[in-house]
Amino acid sequence: MQKRLLSLGLVAVIAIALVQALSGTASAAGPLISQNKPVTASSSESAAFPPSATVDGNAGTRWSSQFSDPQWIQVDLGASAAVDQVILNWEAAYARAFQVQTSENGSAWTTIYTTTSSTGGIQTLPITGTGRYVRLNLTARATQWGYSLWEFQVFGTTGSGPGPNDGLLSYNKPATASSHQDDGMCAVCTPAKVTDFDPATRWATSATTGWVDPGWITIDLGAAANVSKVVLQWDPAYAVSYQIQVSDDNSTWRSIYSTTAGKGFKETLTVSGTGRYVRMYGTQRSNGYGYSLWEFQVYGTGGNPTPPPPLPPAPNFTRLAWSDEFNGPANSIPDPAKWTPEIGPGVNNELQYYTNNENARMDGTGNLQIQVRRQATPGSACPPDPISGSTTCQYTSGRLNSYNKFQFTYGRVEARVKVSSSQGLWPAFWMLGSNFFSTRTPWPNCGEIDIMEHVGRELNAVYSTLHAPAYFGAGGYGQRLDLGQRVDAAFHTFAVEWDSSHMTFFVDGRSFFTVDRTQLELTRGPWVYDHDHFLILNSAIGGDFPGPPGAGTVLPQNMLVDYVRVYR
């Protein structure tokens, strides 16, 4: 058992001293909020030294851990709190290195204090943080024994989380920053981009003057506000160390949140403070670049808020809203009321020239046929053909889209397709954000939803993938599915169910990939899909994904589409 170093008399003396110390220091902070709250720990030396002893108000009882590193002990305050002080009363077996951490869920932790040179005894730590849980993360013992605490006391103010009437205060409010970027890498990346409610636009500090510490961005809420929550959606150039600050005059600042362990991506911070101005003040960058945010959202009451645009209504995945069954006579063109042919060379180093419906016709048996042919298009320009070496496009195919004929937000989208498959072939069924055309929003900022892609070099596989500014191209967020047989051997039904919180992708009624919005924002980047998209059907040859055609490529190849249906 762990050694006993104190006599009962000495314990009593320390208890009296501790009460005196606490009565002198707690008045400078909020009230004691940890007493008799639930406590858990990584271990206990025995049942005689439970974690609960640290919050029982009795300085003669203690918790002791097992004799190893690391260990932890945490208190559940019962509700989110603004924490401003922690007092630790160590037994002789103290921690030389530890962190004080907070969490809203007991899982994701923010470090608000750290030391590697603790000397034990009674430590009064003035700190700033917010959370329901407060944890001591103990990483280096000062003795050969474990860790032992007489008391673990947390001071602050509970009930500081968002209330039922709290709303978004920052939408379209003026923002200023230490600098901003405007060049080929980040055009017009101004402070206003963090309040525009568009997750595909961002602010970044200047590439010439702003890749320094500190860096900051401030939002003017228009009037004094009670701030309860801040949401930061970071670009990879995020802050490791930063504060959220409030001010009445944009000059004198008060910190309401501080961390030295920022993790980037999406951070949702429960805070408590009052002011007209809210600032992210970064003091340590995550990499050699500056600071960059897709969104900086402030929630609370007061201010002078402008209501943000509402999300589109939730879809009904069983109500048919639009379809094309492709039942036209043989050799007829796709319905011009539903589809527009895209004409010209492809992108992504593809080798085909898309024709004006010459390669997209009804087959007369209820299918649309998109045919890839070896056929030169005089006067066109493509990457060099690996077979002939010519830079005149040596292949033709078809590509159809529904822009300005049918576009929509959310729903179940499905198509029954028999793909073409040969070396270098790339048939696809997908959607692109309508703002690509309507407002000239560049790819991938407009958002792309690939319901089905097949590449001829992987005969049994299909892909479903999302593309956005923070994840695109080879870094897109997606999933590969092996069907266990050649994909081109039969028709298959490819589908996605899409709403404001998720997308689930299906093949032949089997779900194989779900994108959870919350998880995406926490691990990859912004969700950019809450707006109209249009449908695309095409079959490419060559390009970055499938690779080039070659001696094994068999042409012509037909992609057959039985139907496309959208349920909303």
Query: d(Cα 202, Cα 267) in Å, to the nearest integer?
Result: 16
- For residue 479, is pLDDT > 80? yes
Where is 533: in which H helix or E strand?
A: strand 533-541
Q: How high is the pLDDT of residue 4?
A: 35
- For residue 15, is pLDDT > 50? no
CATH architecture of the domain with residue range 322-567: Sandwich (2.60)
- For residue 542, is pLDDT > 50? yes
Pairing mode of beta strands 320-324, 557-567: antiparallel
pLDDT digits (tens, 9 = 90+) for 23-65: 333 334 678 899 888 999 999 999 999 999 999 888 899 999 9
Query: d(Cα 454, Cα 488) in Å, to the nearest integer?
Result: 9
Pairing mode of beta strands 399-401, 407-408: unpaired
| Residue 384, preceding peptide bond in cis (omega within 30° of 0) | no
Of 340 and 552, more confident: 340
**494 vs 80, 159, 254, 417, 418, CA distance in Å?**
44, 48, 54, 8, 10
Q: How high is the pLDDT of residue 25?
A: 36
Nearest to 370 by CA among 487, 489, 540: 540
Place 563 in a pLDDT band, splitting at 50, 70 and 90: very high
Active site residue 350: no
Structure tokens at 448: 């792309």
Nearest to 386 by CA among 169, 546, 170: 546
Of 105 and 511, more confident: 511
Class of domain 167-302: mainly beta
Stretch 283-296: mean pLDDT: 97
Q: How high is the pLDDT of residue 108?
A: 86
Stretch 556-568: mean pLDDT: 97
Domain ranges of the chain: 39-158, 167-302, 322-567
Mean pLDDT, the chain, whole residue set = 92
Active site residue 267: no
pLDDT digits (tens, 9 = 90+) for 321-379: 999 999 999 999 999 999 999 999 999 999 999 999 999 999 999 999 999 999 999 99
Range in 160-164, 209-213, 225-229, 281-285 the model is least confident about = 160-164
- For residue 13, is pLDDT > 90? no
Domains 39-158 and 167-302 share a fold: yes
Long-range contacts of 377-386 (CB under 8 A, 24+ apart): 377/353, 380/344, 380/345, 380/353, 381/345, 382/345, 382/346, 382/350, 382/351, 382/352, 382/353, 383/349, 383/350, 383/351, 383/542, 385/351, 386/542, 386/548, 386/549, 386/550
Query: Are the C-beta atoms of 537 and 527 separated by less than 8 Å?
Result: no
- CATH code that applies to domain 39-158: 2.60.120.260
Query: Which residue is catalytic, options 414, 448, 497, 521?
Result: 448
Query: Which residue is catalytic, options 295, 453, 497, 521?
Result: 453
pLDDT digits (tens, 9 = 90+) for 301-320: 999 999 999 989 999 999 99
